[in-house]
Amino acid sequence: MKTLLLITSLTLVSHSSFADISDIDAAANTMNITELSQYSENSNDYEKAYADYRLAITANIIGQRQLAADSLNNAQQTLETMLNQHTSADSQALLAAVYGMQIAFDNTKGAEYGMKTAQLLQQASELEPNNPRVNLVKAINAFYTPSTFGGGLDKAQTLASQAITQYDLPCDTICWGHAEAYTWRGLAKQEQGDLSGAMQDWQAALDIDPQYGWANFLLNQQAVKQ
């Protein structure tokens, strides 16, 4: 079950680039490898990193493991270079998500990237305490981390709920992840046996982004079972 949960999404935005985030999201929702590859090649900074991250997730879903690994490495390199030049809570959050996916691909990287992930999220929280994207990534991290190691499903729900509340704050530039926060909270509820609550959250995700493929997939999956 949790292996499938790599079908998540995080977004980042930058200025003056070939594609904006909505373009990349649309390509990812239709699993369009060609468009995602073009956005990766022709974009810069945040959008390039995000396009590579989305490309890695999509390639992994359809079984193109080498493309997934290469794209994930590209996203990591872009973000690490950016953070060496300028500290940003949003770039720290996305890099933490990239590290998390690196661990999912190769458990031997857990010791190295697990610590880096925790450090990035702590720094991002200190930099922008009310950034919902940071709490979203924390929720994802908690979902995959046992409660004995500081994670767990209750914590994932709490963090996702905090992110959802923070999305009500004004957002002028980097605005992403609202639908994802509902989706991850729904997944935590599903794991705890609250399927009704999970489906309500997934529907809320679709109310925010009707083209959001993952929430639609989860709802359709339950409809087939009933």
pLDDT tens over the chain, length 226 residues: 554 444 444 433 333 446 788 888 888 888 899 999 999 999 999 999 999 999 998 999 889 999 999 999 999 999 999 999 999 999 999 999 999 999 989 989 988 999 999 999 999 999 999 999 999 999 999 999 999 988 999 999 999 999 999 998 988 777 788 999 999 999 999 999 999 999 999 999 999 999 888 899 899 988 777 6
pTM of the model: 0.86
pLDDT value, residue 222 = 87
pLDDT value, residue 12 = 37
Non-local CB neighbours of 23 within 8 Å, separated by 6+ positions: 35, 39
pLDDT value, residue 224 = 75
Quick: pLDDT tens for 9-45: 443 333 344 678 888 888 888 889 999 999 999 999 9
pLDDT value, residue 2 = 52
- What's the DSSP call for residue 173? S
How far lies 119's CA from each of 56, 92, 126, 181, 197, in Å?
Answer: 23, 9, 11, 21, 32
d(CA 80, CA 82): 5
Alpha-carbon dihedral sign for residues 225, 212, 141, 201: negative
